[in-house]
């Protein structure tokens, strides 16, 4: 397993994107290290059934795909159809690379057909959620422009739109937590969390009450470990 998900910085030091890439790269290295630790901690004992060991390997491959996909989405934010196609292509290449790695290192131990199907589903989930968030943020930006127009004398009914996105960091954080769990806003509601409309407000970067955040972390903690209220970005 590689020690660096993103590789060398493609931007020269004088490029404004150089610093942003370095920050993202540093975070990815930390996330990869934490992922490796979780995988090793979940390693079945030597006396475990072979099927249990195989499942451990499969979950490791899927988890690594998700980790790579998350940073692919961060590096290629969707702004139009062209960037959506680019992100889709990158995820396709990632899926092929993961399958080739498995074919080489675990030949005969795993059902590649089933694994390919699972990775394809994960690929569609990441791309769908990236497109959905881009669309929701675009709506919020248009609403903000309409509000600005209203303050300059536009018609009052044009101001009946969603509030400006003030919590984009929280929106990104929540999107990542849902992707880790393969959840949608419907799953949050089914698990006893905030309703669908409220979750969508958070994904749009809008404000919600503190008790909503408390309910959210309680639900998220039901899968993939405990989530604390302090983990939620405040901006």
- pLDDT for the residue 146: 61
Q: 109 is written with which tokens?
A: 């131990």
Q: Where are the beta strands (DSSP E) in the chain?
A: none
- pLDDT for the residue 183: 87
Note whether 26 and 57 are same-domain residues: yes
Among 115, 132, 149, identify where a domain stops.
132
Smallest Cα–Cα separation from 35: which of 225, 232, 218, 173?
225
Question: The domain containing residue 43 runs over which residues?
Answer: 17-132
- pLDDT for the residue 150: 54
Cα–Cα distance measured from residue 181 to residue 66, given in angstroms and rounded to the nearest whole number: 10
Among 74, 97, 132, identify where a domain stops.
132
The DSSP-derived string for 16-62 is: HHHHHHHHHHHHHHHHHHHHHHHHHHTPPPTTS-HHHHHHHHHHHHH
* Residue ranges of the chain whose pLDDT lies below 70: 1-3, 107-110, 133-165, 235
Q: What is the pLDDT of residues 87-100, one digit of tens each?
A: 889 899 988 988 88
Q: How long a stretch of residues is the chain?
A: 235
Reduced to 3 states (helix: H, G, I; strand: E, B; else coil), residue 44 is: coil
Cα–Cα distance measured from residue 140 to residue 25, given in angstroms and rounded to the nearest whole number: 29
- pLDDT for the residue 180: 85
Note whether 38 and 86 are same-domain residues: yes
pTM greater than 0.75: no
Note whether 38 and 127 are same-domain residues: yes
Q: What is the pLDDT of residues 159-182, one digit of tens each?
A: 434 455 677 888 888 988 888 888
Among 132, 151, 181, identify where a domain stops.
132
Note whether 148 and 87 are same-domain residues: no
189 domain-assigned? yes
């Amino acid at each position: 397993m590689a020690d660096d998900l993103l590789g060398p910085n493609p931007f020269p030091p004088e490029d404004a994107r150089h610093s942003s890439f370095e920050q993202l790269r540093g975070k990815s290295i930390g996330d990869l290290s934490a992922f490796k630790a979780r995988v090793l901690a979940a390693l079945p004992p030597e006396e475990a059934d072979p099927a249990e060991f195989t499942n451990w390997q499969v979950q490791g491959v899927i988890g690594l795909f998700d980790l790579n996909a998350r940073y692919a989405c961060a590096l290629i934010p969707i702004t139009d159809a062209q960037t959506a196609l680019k992100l889709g292509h990158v995820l396709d290449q990632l899926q092929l690379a993961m399958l080739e790695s498995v074919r080489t290192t675990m030949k005969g131990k795993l059902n590649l057909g089933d694994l390919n199907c699972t990775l394809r589903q994960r690929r569609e989930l990441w791309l769908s959620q990236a497109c959905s968030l881009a669309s929701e943020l675009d709506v919020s930006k248009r609403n903000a422009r309409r509000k600005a127009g209203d303050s300059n004398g536009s018609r009052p009914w044009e101001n009946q739109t969603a509030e400006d996105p003030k919590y984009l960091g929280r929106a990104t954080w929540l999107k990542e937590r849902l992707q880790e769990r393969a959840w949608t806003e419907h799953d949050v509601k089914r698990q006893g969390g905030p309703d669908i409309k409220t979750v969508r407000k958070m994904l749009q970067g809008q404000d919600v009450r503190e008790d909503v955040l408390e309910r959210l972390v309680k639900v998220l903690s039901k899968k993939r470990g405990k989530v604390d209220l302090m983990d939620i970005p405040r901006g």
